[in-house]
Amino acid sequence: MKKKFVNLTLALAAVSGFTACQPQKSAISLEHQGDTLTIVHITKPTKYLILPIQESSTEGKVKLDTGSPADMAMDVRLAVDSIEYYVPFELPQEAKEATVTIGKVGAKAICWDHIQLADTFDTKNTDYYRPVYHHTPSYGWMNDANGLVYKDGEYHLYFQYNPYGSRWGNMHWGHSVSKDLVHWEHLKPAIARDTLGHIFSGSTVIDHNNSAGYGKDAMIAFYTSASDEHGQIQCMAYSTDNGRTYTKYEKNPILTPFDGLKDFRDPKVFWYEPAQKWYMIVSADKNMRFYSSTNLKDWEYLSQFGQGYGVQPNQFECPDFIQLPVDGDPNNKKWVMIVNINPGCPFGGSATEYFVGDFDGKEFKCDTKPEVTKWLDFGKDHYATVCFSNTGDRTIAVPWMSNWQYANVTPIRQYRGANALPRELSLYTKDGQIYMAANAVKETQALRKESRSVDNMDVKDEVVIDEIVPNNEGAYELEMDIVPGNSQLAGLELYNAKGEKSKIYLDLKNKRLVMDRTESGLTAFGEKSEPHAIENHDGRKVNSINYQNDFALGTWAPLSLCEGKTYHLDIFVDKCSVEIFVDGGRIAMTNLIFPTQPYNSLRFYTEGGTAKVENMKIYKLGL
């Protein structure tokens, strides 16, 4: 047995991702038991044990050992032969000593020479591609938005979160709050992974009538616990401090699949007024299942919907179920089922579709045939879209801005994962069909720090604007009307001095809006373009993925969703993303980009005729 003692006296120091700010009389002793288990003994614990990370290493098992059956080992990719960044592992402050056990990491790994103690962890941005105005975690991994709810002037954004690395794992519910959907405050994770499993996606409601017995207006969260041992089961937790902390229901789980189904997750709970009951919709492999309850704890099965509907093949995930007026008429409402699918995106990977229909309190009946697919967004980086509850007449959705084909390998280290802009949803009719629009919420106008107008212009061949905004950080908004006229193609190109560019154009011949990111900047994420294998969010292998071809492509949307002749475009650019909204969100398109310097030039161009650009405004955006 080998023991290694490290005594730390911490002064002002910065070491690649953490800062220790005051002297400490604390010590670590490392006790290597064989080659795969190390006991870390800590006297006078500081707030954090700082762990060095190497993303290519296998996952070690890191556990704060208190002797309780509830102690949970976290999966952490500790550095074996190189260090990429650091993450904090919280220690108990009230204890005189702490013990952390670390398994599946060799005794000769480089991490043992660099593991540290500290009272602070520096989250100052170190990533070039961190967005200026989109929500991201301060560090670590983020995917699906969870538990979106509005209460007492705050929007609560919970999200799938790994605090121990910038790749998927250790699912917690991270937590941020906002008063305006634009400025976000990061709070401590609200629900942590436990012995029942990872804390997968779900929803939160305000229990106005004290149905669950935890007090009037308690916040009740529903989530999936996922593990190999227990499968995917639905659980509940409650909060009486405005969502800052949650207590897990002592009788969890509240719902398990009656047929042993493996993929059974992401509960969305809502109040159904006609029945005076709570309803839950849960993704069940390639279906959605409905349940009802009077007390939020005991659930009765009602029906299921979805087999064979929408794009095929698919895996249903992250459902939502909302009622909206058609064309703004409060006397004509329809139910909409939002279904996030993986795979199934027309451009590869994950995407969001929806179904419009009627609900009688037991069954949902779709207005269209099973083979009809309606997309909520026509980009490649829009997924896990769910809506806030308790927002009155407004229906506000938040997507995750990435794609499972490459989410784990984007060229980012300090964090991975961002939310696209919140969108307000509405229904409109076109050619006898009902569609859902998704437009950027009006609150985004608060991001506008500077603006300038551009004179109306006739475009034949090309018109260039050399400088989009001064001191450009890659964060701006372009708003304009494009009248294609007699041109067969009318568009714009965002580009930088290195020749990296993204094209957005109206293809009138094929009646499409197109965004082309094939030359947008980094498109292979530092990898060669041969196939690689990665794991997706539930640990399953996704083989033969060619990152370059999966990313370097164009996405398109049918212009038939719009009225035609004139198209109003609202384009949001932010460091590593472009979001396009046409005609109030009748078309929404969300795509990541990774230019190596900001786009600060703009070229309008046409083919086969002359187009007009009118009412153009350029806004510099910031928080």
* 464 close to 494: Cβ distance less than 8 angstroms: no
Which two structure tokens, joined as six digits, stand for 526? Answer: 């530092």
Quick one: average pLDDT of 433-459?
97
DSSP 348: S
| Predicted confidence (pLDDT) at residue 543 exceeds the cutoff of 80 | no
Report CA dihedral (77, 78, 83, 84) to the nearest 10 degrees. 30
Query: In whole numbers, what is the pLDDT of the chain averaged over residues?
Result: 92
pLDDT confidence band for 534 (50 / 70 / 90): very low
**Could you tell me which residues are beta bridge partners of residue 491?**
505, 605
Instruction: Determine the pLDDT at residue 79.
Output: 98
The residue whose two tokens read 């592992």 is: 89
pLDDT at position 25:
54
- Give tens-digit pLDDT for 177-189: 999 999 999 999 9
| Confidence (pLDDT) at 38 | 97
- Residues 147 and 149: their CA atoms lie apart, in Å, by 6
In sign, the C-alpha dihedral spanning 311, 312, 317, 322 is: positive
End-to-end CA distance of the chain: 54
Read off the pLDDT band of 98 (50, 70, 90): very high
Region 535-542 average pLDDT: 33
Active site residue 144: yes
Average pLDDT (162-169) is: 97
CA-to-CA distance for 131 and 229, rounded, in angstroms?
38
Return d(Cα 467, Cα 257) in angstroms, integer: 57
- Encode pLDDT of 274-297 as tens digits: 999 999 999 999 999 999 999 999
Pick the CATH number of 140-440 from 2.115.10.20, 2.30.30.30, 2.40.30.170, 3.40.30.10: 2.115.10.20
Q: Model confidence over 570-582: pLDDT tens digits?
A: 999 999 999 999 9
pLDDT band at residue 544, thresholds of 50, 70 and 90? very low
pLDDT tens for 320-356 read 999 999 999 999 999 999 999 999 899 999 999 999 9
In this prediction, residue 35 carries a pLDDT of 84
Q: pTM for this structure?
A: 0.93
Per DSSP, the three-state class of 467 is coil
SS3 assignment, position 568:
strand
Q: How far apart are CA 263 and CA 539, in angstroms?
A: 13
- Of 220, 222, 219, the C-alpha closest to 235 is 222
- pLDDT tens-place string over residues 224-264: 999 999 999 999 999 999 999 999 999 999 999 999 999 99
- Residue 53 tokens, joined: 């990370």
CB of 568 closer than 8 Å to CB of 521: no
Condensed to tens digits (0 to 9), the pLDDT of residues 20-34 reads 334 445 789 999 998
Determine the pLDDT at residue 549: 62
Residue 302: HSE in the Cβ half-sphere, 13 Å Cα cutoff: 21
| Contact between 439 and 430 (Cβ < 8 Å) | no
- Tell me phi and psi for residue 560, to 5 degrees: -65, -15
Residue type (1 letter), 33: Q
List residues bridging with 426 in a β-sheet: 437
Model confidence at 17: pLDDT above 90: no
pLDDT, greater one: 91 or 535: 91
Cβ atoms 581, 588 nearer than 8 A: yes
What is the average pLDDT across 496-513?
97
- Of 35, 119, 122, 144, which is the active-site residue? 144
Q: For residue 23, what pLDDT is reported? A: 41
Cβ-based neighbour number of residue 405 at 10 Å: 24
Burial class (CB in 10 A: 0-12, 13-18, 19+), 461: exposed
Phi, psi of 567 (to 5 degrees): -125, 125
**Averaged over 615-619, what is the pLDDT?**
98
Question: Average pLDDT in the 371-396 region?
Answer: 97
Sorted by where each begins, the domain ranges of the chain are 2-118, 140-440, 447-517+553-621
Domain 447-517+553-621, CATH: 2.60.120.560
Please choose, from the candidates 601, 345, 609, 576, the residue with its C-alpha nearest in 3D space to the C-alpha of residue 475: 576
Beta strand segments in 74-184, E: 74-76, 85-90, 97-103, 116-118, 140-151, 154-162, 172-178
| Residue 539 falls in which region: left (phi positive, over 0), alpha (psi -120 to 50) or beta | left
Is residue 224 within 8 A of residue 160, CB to CB? The reply is: no
